[in-house]
Homo-oligomer: A and B are copies of this chain.
Amino acid sequence: MIYMDNAATSWPKPESVWEAVLRVGKTIGANPGRAGHQMAIDAGRAIYNARVAIARLFQFPDPLRVVFTLNATDALNLAIFGLLKPGDHVLTTRLEHNAVARPLYILQHRGVEVTYLDGDDYGRIDPDEIKQNRKANTKALILNHASNVTGAMQDLENIVKAAKALDLLVIVDAAQTAGVFPIQMEAWGIDLLAFPGHKGLLGPQGTGGLCIMPGIDLEPLRYGGTGSQSESELQPLCLPDRFESGTPNTPGIAGLAAGVEYIHQFGQAKIEAHERMLTQQLMEGLAGLKGVRLMGPPIGESRAAVLSLTVDGMEVAEMGFLLDKAFNIAVRTGLHCAPLAHRRSGTFTTGTVRLSPGIFSTETEIKEVVAAITQLVNEANTI
- A37 is contacted by which of B36, B205, B225, B320 (Cβ under 8 Å)? B320
Is B230 within 8 A of A330, CB to CB? no
Instruction: Encode contact with B along A207-223: 1 for CB under 8 Å, 0 otherwise.
Output: 11000000000000111
Q: Which of B98, B320, B329 contacts A224 (CB 8 A)?
A: B98
Say whether A223 contacts B77, CB under 8 Å.
Answer: yes
Show 20 residue pairs from A and B whose CB-CB distance is below 8 angstroms, ordered by the A residue: A3-B30, A8-B31, A8-B247, A11-B39, A18-B22, A21-B22, A25-B205, A35-B332, A36-B324, A36-B334, A39-B330, A72-B246, A72-B247, A73-B222, A77-B221, A99-B245, A99-B246, A225-B337, A230-B336, A231-B339
Number of interface residues of A (CB under 8 A): 86
> Is A97 close to B, CB under 8 A?
yes
Q: In the assembly, what is the distance between CA of A238 and CA of B329, in Å?
A: 30
Query: How far does the alpha carbon of A70 sit from the alpha carbon of B317 in the complex, in Å?
Result: 32
Q: Which residues of B lie under 8 Å from residue A290 when comparing CB positions?
A: none
The reply to whether A230 and B335 form a contact with Cβ atoms under 8 Å apart is yes
In contact, A70 and B74 (Cβ under 8 angstroms):
yes
The segment from A101-109, A151-159, A297-305, A366-374 that touches chain B is: A101-109
The reply to whether A223 and B103 contact each other, CB–CB distance below 8 Å, is: yes
Q: Which of A37, A249, A337 has the most CB of B within 10 A?
A: A37
Q: Are A30 and B224 in contact (CB under 8 A)?
A: no
In the bound complex, residues from chain B placing their C-beta under 8 Å from that of A8 are 30-31, 34-35, 40, 247
Chain B nearest CB, measured from A322 CB (Å): 11
Instruction: Please tell me if A251 contacts chain B, counting CB pairs below 8 Å.
Output: yes
Considering the complex, which residues of chain A in the window 192-207 have a beta carbon less than 8 Å from any beta carbon of chain B? 196, 198, 204-207
Shortest beta-carbon distance from A67 to chain B in Å = 12
Kindly list chain B residues whose C-beta atoms are within 8 Å of the C-beta of A348.
231
A222 contact set on B, CB distance < 8 A: 73-74, 77, 221
Contacts A29-B205, A230-B336 supplied; 13 other A-B pairs, CB < 8 Å: A5-B31, A8-B30, A8-B34, A11-B30, A22-B22, A38-B324, A74-B246, A97-B225, A102-B233, A105-B234, A205-B250, A208-B246, A224-B337
Complex: how many Å from CA A230 to CA B251? 31
Is the CB–CB distance between B73 and A5 below 8 Å? no
Query: What are the 6 closest A-B residue pairs judged by CB atoms, nearest first?
Result: A206-B249, A73-B246, A99-B224, A71-B246, A225-B337, A230-B335
Instruction: Tell me the A225-270 residues at the B interface (CB within 8 Å).
Output: 225-227, 230-235, 245-252
Instruction: Tell whether, in the assembled complex, residue B77 and residue A245 are in contact, meaning their CB atoms are under 8 Å apart.
Output: yes
Instruction: Please state if B335 and A231 are interface contacts (CB–CB under 8 Å).
Output: yes
C-alpha spacing A25/B26, complex, angstroms: 16
A76-B224, A196-B247 as given contacts; A330 in contact with B30, CB under 8 Å: yes
Q: Are A330 and B35 in contact (CB under 8 A)?
A: yes
Report yes or no: B224 in contact with A73, Cβ–Cβ below 8 A.
Answer: yes
- Whether, in the assembled complex, A188 has its beta carbon less than 8 Å from a beta carbon of chain B, the answer is no
B residues less than 8 Å from A333 (CB atoms): 35-36
Q: Is the CB of A247 within 8 A of B101?
A: no
- For A87, what are the chain B residues with a Cβ–Cβ distance below 8 Å? none
Shortest Cβ distance from residue A352 to the other chain B in the assembled complex, whole angstroms: 11
Q: Is the CB of A334 within 8 A of B230?
A: yes
A144 within 8 Å of B (CB atoms): no
- A181 interfacial contact with B, CB 8 Å: no
Instruction: Determine the distance from Cα of A5 to Cα of B338 in the docked complex, in whole angstroms.
Output: 44
